[in-house]
Amino acid sequence: MRDVEELASPSTLLRAPLMVVPTDLPIDRVAAMGFVYSTAYYTLKDRAGLSRGQRLLVLGAAGGVGLAAVQIGKAIGAYVVAAAKTEDELALCRRYAATTIECDQLRDDKWRRSEFEGAKRFDVVFDPLGTVYTEPALSTLRPGGRFLVIGFASEDKEAKGSSTVHTGPTQMFMLPILTSCTVGFATAKSTPT
């Protein structure tokens, strides 16, 4: 059994929302999985209505929430393009069967227009960073596309003040920035009621 400190007094839990966590899985990874996958799933499926055959661009695709979005997008059956900065990050995204692009390519207007014109425009853009890539990514959306602003994880000083809210046929969704997250765990020895 794991040595886990309690955060609260004992509680009665319903069986349905619990799952057994393998004892060899580090508790910090378990906590992160619940946060990143639920964020990616909620925004892609519930907010954006991503469906099979649609095109999805994921910025910051090698980060926790970004990689979860890549995996969930693929599981839904979307065509996923993962944008990341380094070759190691791009290689990680390719391991999850995503087509990849280097983030700086998005800032090249001529390249972007030639690559993402007409039917190649995206139905959904997933942006957990809020960087200088936000505006160029916004221009890759098809009319009626959905732009998901997940947060502002970047500390990119160049990005400060660069993002503009656009009006028109594109819907923008903003999730509240979470200041705290409480996660409950159940181990194999726990007995849900």
- Cβ atoms of 192 and 13 within 8 Å: the answer is yes
15: confidence class by pLDDT, cuts 50, 70, 90: low
With respect to residue 22, please indicate whether it lies within any of the assigned structural domains: no
Distance CA 62, CA 75 (A): 17
- Print the domain residue range for 144: 27-174
With respect to residue 9, please indicate whether it lies within any of the assigned structural domains: no
What is the number of structural domains in the chain?
1
With respect to residue 2, please indicate whether it lies within any of the assigned structural domains: no
Distance CA 151, CA 130 (A): 7
With respect to residue 50, please indicate whether it lies within any of the assigned structural domains: yes
With respect to residue 21, please indicate whether it lies within any of the assigned structural domains: no
Which neighbouring-strand residues pair with 127?
149
- Cβ atoms of 130 and 154 within 8 Å: the answer is yes
pTM exceeding 0.85: no
Distance CA 106, CA 51 (A): 24
With respect to residue 51, please indicate whether it lies within any of the assigned structural domains: yes
The three-point CA angle 101-53-152 to 5° equals: 45
With respect to residue 183, please indicate whether it lies within any of the assigned structural domains: no
Residues 22-74 have pLDDT tens digits of: 788 777 777 766 778 888 988 999 899 999 999 999 999 999 899 999 999 99
With respect to residue 189, please indicate whether it lies within any of the assigned structural domains: no
Q: How far apart are the first and last CA of the chain?
A: 19
- pLDDT over threshold 90, residue 127: yes
For residue 68, give the CATH number of its domain.
3.40.50.720
- Cβ atoms of 19 and 130 within 8 Å: the answer is no
